[in-house]
Chain A
Amino acid sequence: QVQLQESGPGLVKPSGTLSLTCAVSGASFSSNTFWSWVRQAPERGLEWVGEISDSGSTKYNPSLRSRVTISLDKSKSQFFLNIRSVTAADTAMYYCARHLSCAQGDWGPGTFVTVSS
């Protein structure tokens, strides 16, 4: 059974870079699968951040595209999220997920990131 686990700093300073890792176990990175990042600000709804395919092609939320990079390391069964020039508006719970068809099928438990000085 696939398991995903997010990790990274829980506190990032304004104007800094938010960097998160999603560690994947029980699933292959060579099965034509897509991997997403989704976030949820406190008391708010879900927001899709972006996705990466096993081949490394990416799609991003148009409202975040200029600041976001998603990458992967197949050898480590990990994929990554970087958001540059963060502000308080980037404070949120961040989830990584594996796709089932074009849906986010399996989710990690999430990691909360606060942007504050």
Chain B
Amino acid sequence: SAVISQKPSRDICQRGTSLTIQCQVDSQVTMMFWYRQQPGQSLTLIATANQGSEATYESGFVIDKFPISRPNLTFSTLTVSNMSPEDSSIYLCSVPGTGNTGELFFGEGSRLTVL
């Protein structure tokens, strides 16, 4: 499986500010995915980050709130904009395994606390 590195691993943010999370993969991947895990909850897909095109957002998530960049096949960023305490979550980057197996691998996550 790919090695996925996320930065920051955790941060404490003030209400109304924005924070950008970085995801670096040690191999080239066509698709990268961003998930959110709210405290004590399950994981929910935010968007699919495609290299060379705009991200595709899931229902309930919008580009103005969660802008995503995908400048190359090994890197993506997710920005959480105009944060509120409800945005306190773990944000996880994930990539598919090799071959069309359906496998999905996750980074360690970025734990954001919004005060």
A and B associate in one complex: no
Residues of B within 8 A of A (CB): none
Residues of A within 8 A of B (CB): none
